[in-house]
Amino acid sequence: MSQEKKLVTITINGKTIVTHDKETILHAANENGFKIPTLCHYRKLAKAEEGAGSHHFNSGSCRVCMVMDVKKDKLVPACVTPCSDGMDISINDLKVIQNRRNVLELILSDHPKDCLTCSKSGQCELQELAAEVDLRQLRYEGEQRHEKVDTSSLSIIRDMNKCIYCKRCVVMCNDVQKVGVLSAAGRGFHSTISTPFDLPLSETNCTFCGQCVSVCPTGALSEVSNVDEVWKALVSNKYVVVQTAPAIRVALGEEFGYPSGTNVTGKMVRALRQMGFQKVFDTNFAADLTIMEEAAELVDRIQNNKRLPILTSCCPGWVKYLEHQFNDLLDIPSSCKSPHEMFGSITKTYFAEKMGINPKDIVVVSVMPCLAKKYESARPELGHEDGYSDVDIVITTRELAKMIKEISIDFNNLEDDEFDNPFGESSGAGNIFASSGGVIEAALRTAYEWITGDELTQLDFKDLRGLKGSKEATVEIDGKPFTIGVVSGLGNANTLLRKIRNGDAHYDAIEIMACPGGCIAGGGQPYHHGDQDIIKARMNSIYEIDQQKEIRQSHKNPQIFKLYDEFLGKPYGEKAHQLLHTHYVKREKM
């Protein structure tokens, strides 16, 4: 059992600070307005998740955060050194500054110098630190790495020539997500971050959640760019439509200087239209469609005593994790395709039929907060017998921002525009899919009324909201308790699924999202650098949009009614099942 924290008094640059002996110098300094540079430390991301386990991204490996312990007259790493009573710390001692420059020079001595063309240029923490200390020349010239770049996957590129061995990705992959694909290997100069047996990423258990990319300080890990594919499609003779996920609208603005969480829906739509898309649609419509199918499936399982819990299936990262790690439980997830895949399927059937266009001449582009969606769009189960996929190209929020900048669109001065119909009208329930807890809340808003026949007067299920990694609530439906579980982050999913497998927990429905906090913190979103305030601002904006909607339940969206009346028939019916549902694959666990 850990000892209780004890209050201690320390001095940083002459300022007296009261903290506790379990806290690091780095944290105490940051909390009191002092900035200590670092590369291996990653602030707050998992530590802020109450009940989710505390994962400190402090390996102490980079040595950039060295500070002077004045009383001992020695340099100590701020990120792993606990505070002790009477400690006197200097963070701008001459030796500290000299050490920082030396460390950065050594890191840069064998680092590629292709900053202008690097995917992380302008977002690289190593680049920023070098600029801060005004490093303009190097005294050391190290041996350059010449490792093969891993481009095997459709989602993530691994370039270990740019790795600085900070191990953030290792902690994220193993301790937070519990995927276990990345680990430290080798010794000395040949130290690297490797996959099991040095396999290509596509041949591992990787879920392509992209959280490793989110925490990487350099260009060692980046998303596969599909920007060129989109430009080529837009100048082709194809009919190119685009859909945007709910999380995009509350994060895209950050790339253009807006405060975190600013809703830029109207400007985003106008920018997409100026880029040349024939139709600009909203994935929120498909989220409503997903709820129709998922809620119908849930009601079917309850009324016919079928297998529970039902697990949401919107997140491709979590689905792939299940297929590898818990493939004995493949019968409990919903069979629903994810919303953007449902959208692609309906676009290439219903929409193509109404417009008189050959489905093979339609290109569906998805703008997603997620790197796993790139992999998902190529899954053979998510296509048609005629040989085409539901979704053709996936780009991230970051990629969309780059495209807007590339053609010099003045985003900040754009007038607001609206989505095209028939797939531009959505409910508030469709919007909250972006946040952890939102999918299951949206499903409850519909399932409750379908089961009871009564109108749901209170639409907000606030116990299911927030950034906490694991949440649960019990809702009374038709006089019976209905137990809901919500987890975000694959490590938390691992814990919950083990309980279900062992019979130690009972739930009727569970929502799982691979990324901590949900899609708002997806691997393709603007980098938040572990700042929970950014993620909270995005989440708050998502729920504000929901509150402002006149229609807040998926089954009350008139365009959804029209789709079923004209084309699909009834929810969870034969045609709906054919177009909107899928199956899962038992994959090898390495």
Average pLDDT, rounded, for the chain: 92
**Of 52-66, 78-92, 148-162, 509-523, the least confident:** 52-66
Give the other-Cβ count within 10 Å of 237's Cβ: 5
Q: Judge whether residue 522 has pLDDT over 90.
A: yes
Q: Judge whether residue 7 has pLDDT over 70.
A: yes
Give the type of residue at 208.
F
Residues present in the chain in total: 590
Determine what percent of the chain is predicted with pLDDT higher than 70. 96
Query: Is residue 585 included in any domain, yes or no?
Result: no
Query: Is residue 330 included in any domain, yes or no?
Result: yes
Cα angle at 347 between 344 and 349, to 5 degrees?
110
CA dist 114 and 130 (Å) reads: 14
Query: Tokens 């807040």 correspond to what residue?
Result: 552
Residue ending a domain, among 223, 245, 274, is 223
Do 52 and 133 belong to one domain?
no
The CATH number of the domain where 49 resides is what?
3.10.20.740
* Average pLDDT for 135-143: 84
Q: Judge whether residue 49 has pLDDT over 60.
A: no
Higher per-residue pLDDT: 253 or 135: 253
Do 307 and 394 belong to one domain?
yes
- C-alpha of 534 from chain center: 13
* pTM for the structure as a whole: 0.93
Query: Is residue 320 included in any domain, yes or no?
Result: yes
Residue 46 confidence class, pLDDT cut points 50, 70, 90: very low
Q: Judge whether residue 562 has pLDDT over 80.
A: yes
Q: Judge whether residue 540 has pLDDT over 60.
A: yes
Higher per-residue pLDDT: 544 or 62: 544
CA dist 466 and 481 (Å) reads: 22
Query: Is residue 117 included in any domain, yes or no?
Result: yes
Query: Is residue 492 included in any domain, yes or no?
Result: yes
Residue 357 confidence class, pLDDT cut points 50, 70, 90: very high
Residue ending a domain, among 57, 91, 125, is 91
* Average pLDDT for 342-357: 96
pLDDT tens column, 409-419: 999 999 999 99
143: which 2 tokens?
Answer: 């041996």
Do 232 and 208 belong to one domain?
no
Residue 43 confidence class, pLDDT cut points 50, 70, 90: low
Query: Is residue 100 included in any domain, yes or no?
Result: no
pLDDT tens column, 92-105: 989 999 999 999 99
Do 470 and 507 belong to one domain?
yes
Do 287 and 267 belong to one domain?
yes
Residue 499 confidence class, pLDDT cut points 50, 70, 90: very high
- Rounded to whole angstroms, the maximal C-alpha distance in the chain is 80
CB 284 within 8 A of CB 438: no
- Active-site residue set: 294, 297, 314, 334, 373, 376, 381, 519
Do 284 and 370 belong to one domain?
yes
**What local confidence, expressed as pLDDT, does residue 271 receive?**
98
Do 207 and 139 belong to one domain?
yes
3-state secondary structure of 5: coil
Give the other-Cβ count within 10 Å of 569's Cβ: 13
Residue 478 confidence class, pLDDT cut points 50, 70, 90: confident
The CATH number of the domain where 114 resides is what?
3.30.70.20
Q: How, if at all, do strands 279-282 and 480-488 pair? A: unpaired
Q: Judge whether residue 48 has pLDDT over 50.
A: no
349: which 2 tokens?
Answer: 């059937």
**What local confidence, expressed as pLDDT, does residue 59 receive?**
66
Do 84 and 112 belong to one domain?
no
CB 311 within 8 A of CB 273: no
The CATH number of the domain where 574 resides is what?
3.40.50.1780
Give the type of residue at 206.
C
Residue 529 confidence class, pLDDT cut points 50, 70, 90: confident
277: which 2 tokens?
Answer: 């898309």
Cα angle at 549 between 543 and 551, to 5 degrees?
120
Residue 293: which of 576, 542, 46 has the closest Cα? Answer: 576
Q: How, if at all, do strands 156-158 and 192-194 pair? A: unpaired
Query: Is residue 465 included in any domain, yes or no?
Result: yes
pLDDT tens column, 325-339: 999 999 999 999 999
Query: Is residue 101 included in any domain, yes or no?
Result: no
Tally the domains of the chain.
Answer: 3
Do 194 and 232 belong to one domain?
no
> What is the DSSP code (8-state) at residue 204?
S
Do 201 and 250 belong to one domain?
no
pLDDT tens column, 155-182: 999 999 999 999 999 999 999 999 999 9
Q: How far is CA 146 from CA 111, 143, 181, 238, 406, in A?
A: 11, 10, 22, 41, 31
Residue 4 confidence class, pLDDT cut points 50, 70, 90: confident
**What local confidence, expressed as pLDDT, does residue 187 receive?**
79
Residue ending a domain, among 223, 250, 283, is 223
Which residues contact residue 216 at a Cβ distance below 8 angstroms, ignoring those fewer than 6 apart? Answer: 120, 168, 169, 222
**What local confidence, expressed as pLDDT, does residue 479 receive?**
87
CB 209 within 8 A of CB 322: no
Q: Judge whether residue 237 has pLDDT over 90.
A: yes
* Average pLDDT for 277-286: 97
Query: Tokens 């402090």 correspond to what residue?
Result: 58
Residue 51 confidence class, pLDDT cut points 50, 70, 90: very low
Do 219 and 232 belong to one domain?
no
**What local confidence, expressed as pLDDT, does residue 52 receive?**
38
Do 357 and 499 belong to one domain?
yes
What domain range is 158 assigned to?
A: 106-223
387: which 2 tokens?
Answer: 């040989």
**What local confidence, expressed as pLDDT, does residue 325 receive?**
95
pLDDT tens column, 430-472: 999 999 999 999 999 999 999 999 999 889 999 999 999 999 9
Q: Judge whether residue 44 has pLDDT over 80.
A: no
Give the type of residue at 590.
M
**What local confidence, expressed as pLDDT, does residue 248 receive?**
98
Strands (DSSP E) contained in 246-347 are: 279-282, 310-311
